[in-house]
């Protein structure tokens, strides 16, 4: 059964995630291991592009579970997140049955049955007829409105949803739940309290290099080292939006597409749009600042070698 495939230790968690090209910090691997072992939802907060969504995908692959994703947005409600009645189909069948009274009575008793129910992510995730409990990703919860959190709280505490017309649907085995937030606002304490919490930080230099080696294997070691060191300097600047790991990967792919072997100030300036998405940030870095940062990178690397 499904629970036998859980990792057996923190080391095992690290190894199995890494085998799927996800390079976790020791702290994240510990939290993941515990969340699986204790059957608690995992709440991940952090800057965009630091691997929060990706860990849910990787966990699903690692454990051989389907991934069910609920992308949160402003105005997300029960109908979008859990279920709604198929009103169009109900109307259509009523029309088709207009002739006979017996059929109509039959239909009336069936109008609010499974046949007319459209299950959205949350309902799908607790569907007791599924062969294995899935990984449920509730992505970017900070984008949803606060009332939605209250509803979510119920689902997360009992893994059940009550549909007034139909009854209570309860998971046979709880799904593995990953919630993420980019922290554009604080998520309510009550939600966090039900979860194991981890702040996903930008990776340190060696880990970002390891990520890059796995995600863009075509990049040479020298170029990869320069790229990672440059981006780490960039993240120390006072920018509106710092580049995440996703940007490191994209930039490396872009530089490879341009057949770059090493960085140079002009190349950096001309490709900054892959890394930075605000004109003010780009203007701050392009030109002499890029050259200065690159010099710092080179000095530090020479220092490390000698
Ligand atoms: N620890 C990691 N190991 C491997 N790849 C990573 C890691 N963190 C981020 N990535 C890469 O960065 C990309 C963006 O990550 P994502 O999960 O979408 O960020 P977030 O959800 O935090 O905004 C992923 O597609 C993945 O390729
Ligand atoms: Mg994400």
pLDDT at 207 over 60: yes
Proximal ligand: closest to the CA of 50: 1
Which residues are CB-neighbours of 184 under 8 A, at least 6 positions away? 142, 143
pLDDT reported for residue 3: 42
Higher pLDDT, 96 or 40: 40
Which residue is closest in CA terms to ligand 1's atom 9?
Answer: 51
Which residue is closest in CA terms to ligand 1's atom 12?
Answer: 246
User: What is the spatial distance between Cα 32 and Cα 114, in angstroms, rounded to a whole number?
Assistant: 35
- For 154-182, the pLDDT digits (tens) are 899 899 999 999 999 999 999 999 999 99
User: What is the spatial distance between Cα 44 and Cα 23, in angstroms, rounded to a whole number?
Assistant: 16
pLDDT reported for residue 273: 96
Which residue is closest in CA terms to ligand 1's atom 5?
Answer: 22
What pLDDT band is residue 109 in, cutting at 50, 70 and 90? confident
Highest mean pLDDT among 87-101, 153-167, 201-215 belongs to: 201-215
pLDDT reported for residue 118: 96
166 CA to centre of ligand 1 in angstroms: 40
pLDDT reported for residue 306: 65
204 CA to centre of ligand 1 in angstroms: 14
Which residue is closest in CA terms to ligand 1's atom 11?
Answer: 246
50 CA to centre of ligand 2 in angstroms: 8
215 CA to centre of ligand 1 in angstroms: 10
Mean pLDDT of the chain: 93
What percent of the chain stands above pLDDT 70? 98
- Mean pLDDT over residues 178-203, rounded? 95
- For 272-290, the pLDDT digits (tens) are 999 999 999 999 999 999 9
DSSP 3-state of 187: coil
What pLDDT band is residue 185 in, cutting at 50, 70 and 90? very high
pLDDT at 2 over 60: no
User: Ligand 1 pocket: which residues have CB below 6 Å?
Assistant: 21-24, 46, 48-54, 180, 211, 215, 245-246, 249
């Amino acid at each position: 059964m499904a629970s036998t495939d859980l990792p057996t230790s923190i080391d095992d968690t690290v190894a199995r995630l890494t085998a799927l090209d996800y390079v976790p910090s020791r702290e994240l691997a510990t939290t993941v291991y515990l969340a699986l072992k204790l059957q608690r939802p995992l709440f991940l907060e952090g800057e965009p592009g630091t691997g929060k969504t990706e860990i849910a995908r990787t966990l699903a692959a690692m454990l051989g579970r389907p991934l069910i994703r609920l992308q949160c947005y402003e105005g997300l409600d029960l109908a979008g997140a859990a279920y709604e009645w198929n009103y169009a189909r109900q109307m259509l069948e009523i029309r088709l049955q207009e002739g006979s009274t017996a059929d109509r009575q039959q239909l009336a008793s069936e109008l609010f049955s499974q046949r007319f129910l459209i299950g959205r992510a949350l309902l799908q995730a607790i569907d007791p007829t599924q062969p294995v409990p899935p990984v449920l990703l509730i992505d970017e919860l900070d984008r949803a409105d606060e009332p939605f959190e209250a509803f979510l709280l119920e689902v997360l505490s009992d893994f059940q949803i009550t549909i007034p017309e139909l009854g209570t649907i309860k998971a046979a085995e709880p799904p593995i739940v990953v919630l993420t937030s980019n922290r554009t606002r604080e998520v309510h304490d009550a939600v966090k309290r039900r979860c194991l919490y981890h702040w996903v930080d930008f990776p340190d230099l060696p880990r970002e290099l390891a990520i890059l080696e796995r995600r863009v294997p075509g990049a040479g070691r020298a170029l990869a080292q320069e790229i990672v060191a440059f981006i780490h300097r960039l993240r120390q600047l006072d920018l509106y939006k710092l580049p995440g790991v996703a940007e490191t990967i994209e930039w490396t792919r872009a530089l490879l597409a341009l057949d770059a072997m090493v960085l140079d100030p002009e190349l950096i300036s001309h490709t900054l749009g892959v890394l930075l998405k605000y004109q003010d940030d780009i203007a701050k870095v392009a030109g002499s600042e890029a050259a200065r940062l690159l010099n710092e990178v080179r000095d530090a690397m020479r220092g490390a070698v000698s």
